[in-house]
Amino acid sequence: MPEVPAPDPDFSDAPVAPSILIVDDDATLRVRLAQAFTARGFEAKTAGDAEAACALAMADPPEYAVVDLRMPGASGLTLLRDLKRIDPATKIVVLTAYGSIATTIDAMKLGAVYYLQKPADVDDILAAFQHSDAPEPAPAEQDFAAPSLERVRWEHINRVLTDCDGNISYAARRLQMHRRTLQRILQKYPPRK
């Protein structure tokens, strides 16, 4: 009786798991998110900085990416731009502990589908990706409340810092304040209103 060849191991009828790239300089957060996404059926890859993330994306562009805004080296906004150049179809959610309207607008202009403040769990991130697939709701009729002076100051500082590519010393000179003063301001949470 002739021997039947074994099926090709690279050829499977099983559905391919969606890929996600998690980029954050916080190793604990990175590992926990990767484990949680893997448990939900994703193929998760992680990177601690923009350079490692770009190398992974060049080798195998992810379908989804979660990018921290502030990391050593290139910022999350720079990485966002690079990931979109590598594969424009990649859906990217930006995470940050220091949110501002200016950086949110910049992230959305560069192609992020959503912007979340830390701490965000996997369910929040998945909801953000699903939000990008939902149709735009009709604008609601509501009164616009002007932001407080403290919030406007926070937004201005973050805009200048973004324009300076995250260089605190250069941003402090442009803002005409001492570098340590700027660092103390940035360590605080942004004003709510």
Q: pLDDT by residue for the chain (193 residues), tens digit each?
A: 444 444 444 434 446 788 999 998 888 888 999 999 999 999 999 998 889 989 999 999 999 999 988 888 888 888 888 899 999 988 989 887 776 777 777 878 888 888 888 778 888 888 888 876 544 444 555 556 777 788 888 888 888 888 888 888 998 999 899 999 888 888 877 776 6
**Sequential DSSP letters for 23-43:** E-S-HHHHHHHHHHHHHTT-E
Enter the tokens of residue 5.
């060849």
pLDDT value of residue 119? 77
The answer to whether 4 touches 90, Cβ cutoff 8 Å, is no
List of domains in the chain: 19-133 (3.40.50.2300), 149-187 (1.10.10.60)
Quick one: which of 146, 140, 141, 143 has its CA closest to 193?
146
Whole-structure pTM value: 0.63
Residue 85 to residue 114: CA distance in whole angstroms:
18
The answer to whether 48 touches 68, Cβ cutoff 8 Å, is no
Q: Which amino acid is at 53?
A: A
Give 67's Cβ-side CA count (13 Å radius). Answer: 37
Residue 111 to residue 44: CA distance in whole angstroms:
21
